Copies of this chain bind each other. A is one copy, B any other.
Amino acid sequence: MSADRAADWAADWAADPSRLSVRYRITGRDTAEVAEAIRVEQTIEFPVELAAGWIQEEVVGRLERTSGDEIVVSYARGVIAGGLTQLLNVLWGNVSLFEGVRVTGISLPDGGASLRGPRFGTSGVRALFAAPRRALLATALKPMGSSSAELAEVAGILAAAGIDIIKDDHSLSDQPWSPWHERVARCSEAVAEANARTGGRSVYMPSLNVPAPEVAERAHAAKELGAGALMALPGITGFDAMRALADDDSLALPIMSHPSMLGSLVVNRAQGISHGLVLGLLNRMAGADLSVFPNHGGRFGFSEAECAEIRDEAVADRRPLKPTIPSPGGGMTVERVPEILDFYGNDVALLIGGALHRGDLATNAARIREAVEAAAERA
């Protein structure tokens, strides 16, 4: 489905633009019964007949329509007051404990105007890298066990070769082999030196897989040490912690979302929340400028259709929310670049991992940069 079609279809089922509308697919259960359970469970969680009449009318969720195995329930704006955490709670809180229920559509009240979403969006991120047309390139520093000096050396080589985003592998935290502050300082420095030599604009992006109360403070520390972007792990520290990073005007760095621990929300196809909504829309609502997810055909089991759904939810017109740049990874090689760009278009950040390290790192990185430039020329 194209981005345009995704937007049309969103408009089609979500009746009342002042309410949060959620579309659920019900599998192996009585649709009417589950609809009734959901609209109560996600709001008053109380015997409906014992609630005041106006609460039954105004507060309890409203079943808007049933179509085959899908239902649409809408919720008043007051129900989701309290920020993104309460929006998530209404979207999936107790229903997450139901079997056979999957969220397949979300329509935000007033188009999501209460959420700022990505600070930079596609064009903002492109401006930072002075890359108006070509696909962006990202890679991860690894393997765990390497020293900060070793990782910084690799970061410098990758920056000099034209990789835009050089991020911590999501496995890197505060291990003895490369403590967090030391790594952030060394890698930021190495990337800055490479940029100074080449005139490039690469950034080092540390991981904020750190204790929850330190997420904001480490983000600021990273900026002071020279990091040019940040990676958040919403499956571990929560979508709202990422949202707070994106909304922080004194930080103002692009944010990449990593899918660690988010998998169980999506991979069980009769339960959870659809791939596109979690890795496209929720990340976007929570301010991710870039969203990492496993590409189809790699070592994870995401299908082409599911990856297309992520791409579409990341970029479909949901003004005032800016788009999020899809960042597919896993099994990415220079040979696959044309095929992958055919699929995602050039508004993408290719996440290249181990493949860069087979043979000469600088050569491999330069080849992939050439490949995306050539593709942008042809487009």
| A81 sits at the interface (CB 8 A) | yes
B211 touches A244 (CB 8 A): yes
Chain A: interface residue total (CB-CB under 8 A): 86
A240 touches B261 (CB 8 A): no
**Chain B contacts of A170 at CB under 8 A?**
45, 89, 93-94
Which residues 303-320 of A sit at the B interface, judged by CB distance below 8 A? Answer: none
| A271 sits at the interface (CB 8 A) | yes
| A338 sits at the interface (CB 8 A) | no
| A294 sits at the interface (CB 8 A) | yes
Q: Using an 8 Å CB-CB cutoff, how does the interface string of A54-68 with B read, 1 for contact, 0 for none?
A: 110011000000000
**Chain B contacts of A52 at CB under 8 A?**
145
Given A211-B84, A267-B98, A301-B99, answer yes or no on A261-B89 (Cβ-Cβ < 8 Å). Answer: yes
Q: How many identical subunits does the complex contain?
A: 2
Most buried by B among A95, A171, A268: A171
Of the residues B54, B88, B210, contact of A85 by C-beta under 8 Å: B210
| A199 sits at the interface (CB 8 A) | no
B96 touches A260 (CB 8 A): yes
**Chain B contacts of A228 at CB under 8 A?**
none
Q: Using an 8 Å CB-CB cutoff, how does the interface string of A235-255 with B read, 1 for contact, 0 for none?
A: 111111101100000000000
**Chain B contacts of A143 at CB under 8 A?**
43-46, 50-51, 55, 59
Cα–Cα, bound, A358→B48 (Å):
11
- Other A-B pairs beyond A83-B174, A241-B241, A268-B271, 18, CB < 8 Å: A37-B299, A45-B353, A46-B169, A46-B357, A47-B357, A54-B145, A55-B143, A59-B143, A82-B175, A85-B209, A90-B171, A93-B170, A98-B263, A99-B268, A212-B212, A212-B244, A238-B238, A268-B268
A244 touches B79 (CB 8 A): no
| A277 sits at the interface (CB 8 A) | no
Given A236-B85, A237-B240, answer yes or no on A171-B259 (Cβ-Cβ < 8 Å). Answer: no
Nearest to A266 among chain B residues (CB) is B97
B180 touches A210 (CB 8 A): no
28 CB contacts below 8 A, A to B, read A44-B144, A46-B357, A51-B145, A52-B145, A54-B145, A59-B145, A59-B177, A78-B175, A78-B176, A81-B175, A83-B173, A85-B210, A85-B236, A85-B237, A93-B170, A93-B171, A93-B233, A93-B236, A96-B262, A98-B300, A212-B237, A212-B240, A213-B244, A237-B238, A264-B264, A264-B271, A267-B271, A268-B272
Cα–Cα, bound, A268→B266 (Å):
11
**Chain B contacts of A268 at CB under 8 A?**
99, 264, 268, 271-272
Cα–Cα, bound, A65→B42 (Å):
43
Nearest to A57 among chain B residues (CB) is B145
**Chain B contacts of A244 at CB under 8 A?**
211-213
Q: Using an 8 Å CB-CB cutoff, how does the interface string of A136-172 with B read, 1 for contact, 0 for none?
A: 0000101111100000000000000000000001110
| A92 sits at the interface (CB 8 A) | yes
B171 touches A236 (CB 8 A): no
| A363 sits at the interface (CB 8 A) | no
| A216 sits at the interface (CB 8 A) | yes
Closest-CB distance, A96 to chain B (whole angstroms): 3
Which residues 330-379 of A sit at the B interface, judged by CB distance below 8 A? Answer: 353-354, 357-358
